[in-house]
């Protein structure tokens, strides 16, 4: 019987290889299209110093005043027996290649600033920059009023961190909802979801650096993120499902895909951290709350989009079909629901939400680099695990709790570098005492 089954359904390995090759080819094509813009923006204007490509180590940055790039500004660097200069380009970027990793003195020539533009109060110039095991160091100069540091009492700090945590939790939920939707409808634990987050932010930076209006760059980046979700499912995951591939092998494939995409982004985008337009903005005061405009916009956008997703899932036929597939795919198919179509739509929606979450994450951090999706992936898993794997509203609740918890840890003395460890602690505690999560349900395994 086994041989007869194999004869009736011969292995489709060639088709799988063609599909996988088409997927990787599409990814490379998109990144190659974006790469020239990104590379062009990080190459400085001709200057007395060697170009960054002559050295493996670089010092980079952006010069922007209230979102507007500052071009023609001279930056000088000296140290380790080396001296060099660079001039900021049209989009405000500058980069200086240095021969060795070490400690350098960086100075912005204020006489080359446009008339009426001054460094913000408290900005160190010249300043010292040090390489710490990486080949790139970023240094940001702030102009205008800069960031106002105000001493607040404990109550005000707690309130500000709660609001910041809510903003962070909602953007985390935005990215995690797609991860939870994919798990709920297919059972796949997708470790490549972090790179879907990265691609959204990288696409916005590359397109805006190429000269496109900022709003158009965001729209195209979101469309590209949705298309990437479609390509993934059509070229890789659907053929694997048809072959009856187990969930563990598919999870391993997702890990390999994540590594491949991450280092393709590194190859073309580089290892430096770049800033999106309008990333620098002073905090605004809303009564007793001090919040940056970017965090406020992130909170509002995330809340609106998540509310729209909740409405679609609860009140529309499409949402009911999605929940039916997540609950029982076989029964949904027997009821006349196009299961493959629903899963395809879930991948498109997941890619779109991950791209939007990546853009907001780049403003929250702030900065864009090739590892940003990997850095947020653990927190997304913590959020969906806490809320309940496969439950959409569980992902929302869990992500908000994780976001608020992470931000509140800084109020009680935990350093900023260690605050994300709290996400791991939450995930471990949940798996020990309530594996199904807050809104999840118990299921018999085996």
106 strand-pairing partners: 77, 127
284 secondary structure, DSSP code: E
pLDDT value, residue 7: 39
Rounded-to-integer distance, Cα 82 and Cα 75, Å: 14
Give 154-433's CATH code, choosing from 1.10.3470, 2.40.10, 1.10.530, 1.10.1740. Answer: 1.10.3470
Q: Reduced to 3 DSSP states, what percent helix, strand and coil does the chain have, rounded to the nearest 5?
A: 60, 10, 30
Give 52-138's CATH code, choosing from 1.10.3720.10, 1.10.357.10, 2.60.40.10, 3.30.950.10. Answer: 2.60.40.10
Q: What is the pLDDT along the chain (446 residues), one digit of tens a residue?
A: 433 333 344 444 345 444 445 554 555 454 444 444 343 333 333 444 444 445 667 888 878 776 677 888 899 998 888 888 888 888 778 888 888 888 888 888 888 888 888 888 777 888 888 876 566 777 878 886 544 444 456 677 788 888 888 988 898 999 888 888 898 888 888 999 999 999 999 999 999 888 889 899 999 999 999 999 999 999 999 999 999 889 899 999 999 999 999 999 988 888 777 888 877 666 777 777 878 888 888 899 999 999 999 899 888 999 889 888 888 888 888 888 999 999 999 999 999 999 999 999 888 876 788 888 888 888 888 888 888 876 778 888 888 888 888 888 777 666 655 667 777 787 788 878 888 778 766 654 44
- The domain spans of the chain are 52-138, 154-433
pLDDT value, residue 409: 78
Give pairs for 151-155: CB < 8 Å, separation 24+.
152/290, 154/411
Phi, psi of 230 (to 5 degrees): -65, -45
83-94 burial, b if ≥16 CB within 10 A, otherwise e?
ebbbbbbebbbb
97 strand-pairing partners: 58
pLDDT value, residue 157: 76
Please, which residues have CB within 8 angstroms of residue 349's CB and are 6 or more apart in sequence? Answer: 178, 181, 226, 229, 309
On whether the CB atoms of residues 202 and 269 are closer than 8 A, the answer is yes
Handedness of CA 220, 395, 198, 148 (dihedral sign): positive
């Amino acid at each position: 019987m086994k041989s007869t089954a194999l004869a009736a359904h011969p292995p489709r390995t060639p088709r799988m290889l063609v599909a996988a090759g088409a997927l990787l080819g599409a990814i490379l094509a998109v990144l190659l299209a974006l790469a020239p813009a990104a590379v062009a923006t990080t190459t400085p204007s001709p200057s007395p110093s060697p170009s960054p490509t002559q050295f493996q180590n670089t010092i980079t940055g952006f010069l922007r005043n209230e979102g507007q790039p500052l071009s023609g500004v001279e930056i000088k660097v000296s140290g380790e027996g080396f001296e060099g200069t660079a001039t900021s380009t049209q989009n405000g970027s500058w980069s200086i290649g240095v021969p060795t990793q070490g400690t350098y003195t960086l100075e912005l020539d204020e006489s080359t600033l446009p008339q009426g533009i001054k460094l913000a109060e408290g900005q160190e110039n010249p300043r010292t920059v040090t390489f710490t095991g990486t080949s790139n160091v970023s240094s940001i100069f702030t102009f205008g009023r800069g960031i106002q540091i105000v001493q607040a009492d404990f109550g005000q700090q707690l309130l500000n961190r709660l609001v910041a945590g809510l903003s962070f939790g909602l953007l985390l939920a935005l990215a995690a909802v797609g991860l939870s939707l994919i798990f709920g409808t297919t059972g796949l634990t997708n470790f490549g979801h972090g790179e879907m987050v990265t691609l959204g932010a990288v696409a916005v930076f590359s397109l805006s650096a190429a000269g496109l209006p900022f709003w158009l760059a965001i729209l195209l980046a979101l469309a590209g993120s949705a298309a990437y979700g479609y390509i993934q499912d059509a070229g890789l995951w659907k053929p694997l499902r048809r072959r009856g591939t187990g969930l563990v092998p598919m999870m391993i494939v997702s890990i390999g895909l994540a590594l491949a995409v991450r280092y393709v982004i590194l190859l073309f985008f580089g290892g430096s951290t770049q800033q999106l337009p309008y990333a620098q903005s002073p905090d605004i005061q809303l009564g007793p709350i001090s919040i940056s405009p970017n965090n406020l916009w992130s909170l509002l956008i995330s809340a609106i989009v998540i509310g729209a997703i909740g409405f679609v899932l609860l009140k529309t036929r499409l949402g009911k079909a999605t929940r039916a597939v997540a609950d029982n795919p076989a029964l949904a198919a027997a009821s006349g629901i196009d299961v493959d179509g629903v899963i395809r739509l879930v991948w498109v929606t997941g890619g779109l939400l991950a791209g939007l979450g990546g853009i907001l994450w780049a403003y929250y951090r702030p900065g864009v680099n090739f590892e940003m999706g990997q850095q947020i992936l653990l927190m997304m898993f913590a959020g969906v695990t806490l809320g309940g794997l496969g439950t959409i509203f569980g992902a929302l609740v869990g992500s908000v709790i994780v976001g608020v918890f992470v931000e509140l840890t800084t109020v009680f003395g935990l350093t900023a570098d260690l605050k994300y460890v709290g996400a791991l602690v939450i995930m471990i505690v949940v798996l020990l005492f309530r594996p199904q999560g807050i809104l999840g349900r118990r299921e018999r395994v085996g």
